[in-house]
Every structure is written in structure tokens, then in C-alpha cells.
Amino acid sequence: MNSGVIPISDLQLLFSVALILMAGTVSAALKLGLLKSLVWGTIRTFIQLTLIGYVLSFVFEVNNFILIIAILLLMCLVASRTAVRQMPNVEQYPAALAFLSLLASTFLVGIIVVVLIISPEPWYSARITIPIFGMLLGNSMNGIALSLDRLYGEVRSRIAEVETLLCFGATPWEAVRDCVKVAVRAGMMPTINSLMVVGLVSLPGMMTGQILGGADPREAVRYQIIVQLMIAAAVAIGCLLLVGLSYSKLFTKDAALQPSLHRSVPRGGGKT
């Protein structure tokens, strides 16, 4: 097999903008109101990815442990803040618990994968650690956002049932236990669906990137299996941690439901 990445010239990169022009033409023709977002998103993509390319080149070359940890913590912070903004049913939710849940699940799974499974030299190699943690955070962020949003939505839809259980002496946990199960299941379902169809419907990004870079498909598959399983573990742990830490916030100190839960949240009324 031929090895090595086929280089992309500036002209070829610029030509890829034609793909967005096609999408923009459809948006303008149907008056979807998405043209401005498409253009701005394309500009941000070029700027952000170009900058991160230079940053990662520097980080990979320096390969400093303290710098790597600082970058991973920053990634966790950004991911937690982004996750909070994706929760339309959750009012005034502090990002601290989302940050702690992402931090714990990502570092636990990430360290196991990097140190025990891939085992690079040195063990904290930036070229391995940062992409691995990035994939974990990207998927866990969406998972915890779905699970917590579903928890609040589920409790709102079952207020009468939850309050009846409380009146009969149930503890807050016993009153919302079924809601917690539904919430965690909702956060994990996209990842489980991905496990079901990977290789049949989709060729994931990491595997595709390695194949395009000239790697043996059989070796690329091994890496992708690890990636799929580590994402499933991180999402499960993150959802369990966040929902487990958050359900008590549904109640007052007197073990009654928060008054805000009796107010419906407008559709699309999430944080911006």
C-alpha cells in the first residue's frame, strides 16, 4: 500500500468552498434564513482550524506535561460551558457540576486508554493525548447535555406523580428514580446507536483519517474499536455522574419540588 498523506494545496482548499456555495444556494432559494450562518460558520471554521493547526504543531513539538494538562483543563471548561447552553429545560444551572462530571469521566477513561492501552512514549505524548481527550469531551458533552435536559423535562412532565410519591413518604431519590433512568438512557442512546451502525452505515472520522493518511485499514479498525468503546464508557460515566449530582437540585431543603419546575419552559428557550 502507498503510505503518506496526500497534500492539499491552497487552491484545492479554496475550491472546497464551492461545497458551501452549493448549500448556500439551496438556503437562499428556499429562503431558509441560513445563508448568513453558513458564511459565518465557514469563516470561523477556516480561522479556528488554521489557528489550532499552528497551536498543535507547537504543542506536539514541545510536548510539555504541564502545558498538556492546562490545555485539557481548558478543553473541559469550554465543553462544560457549551453543554450548559444546550439545556433548554434547565434554568440557572451552574456549569461547575458539568465541569466536574466531564473532568472525572474524561480523565478516568482517557488515562486508561492512553497509558494502559495505547502506551505511547512518553506516556503523556501530546500527539496521542490531546486527540483522544478531544474525542471523549466532544461526545460526553453532548451526552450529559441530553441527559440533564431530559431529567428536568421528565420531572416537569411527571410533576403530579412525583409530588404524590413525596406525599406518601418517598425520598427525593425514590420520587425521581424513574426519571433518572430515562434521563441517563437518553444521554447514552446516540452513542449506543453509533456502536450499532459503525462500519455498516458510517466510517468514523478517526478511522477515515488514518486510511486517508495511508494506514492499513486493519490497523485503523483496531484504533476505531478502542475509540468507540472509550466514548461509550466516558458518556455513560459522565451522564451517571451529572444526573446523580444534579437530581437533588430539583428539590428544596424541605424535600419539595422547586417552584420553578411548575413553570413551563418555552420551546427553544435555552441559554444562549
Question: What 8-state DSSP symbol labels residue 257?
Answer: B
For the chain, the domains span 9-62, 65-262
Low-confidence ranges of the chain (pLDDT < 50): 1-2, 266-272
Question: What 8-state DSSP symbol labels residue 115?
Answer: I
CA distances from 149 to 142, 235, 242 (A): 11, 15, 11
Residue in 134, 130, 125 with CA at minimum distance from that of residue 63: 125
Predicted pLDDT at 269: 44
Q: How far is CA 272 from the centre of its chain?
A: 17
- CB neighbour list of residue 117: distance below 8 Å, 6 or more residues apart: 226
Predicted pLDDT at 19: 86
Grid cell, residue 126, equals: 501530546
Place of cell 469521566: 105
Q: How far apart are CA 177 and CA 17, in angstroms?
A: 49
- CB neighbour list of residue 203: distance below 8 Å, 6 or more residues apart: 211
Predicted pLDDT at 272: 35
Grid cell, residue 118, equals: 495505547
pTM of the model: 0.80
Q: How far apart are CA 250 and CA 257, in angstroms?
A: 6
Predicted pLDDT at 88: 67
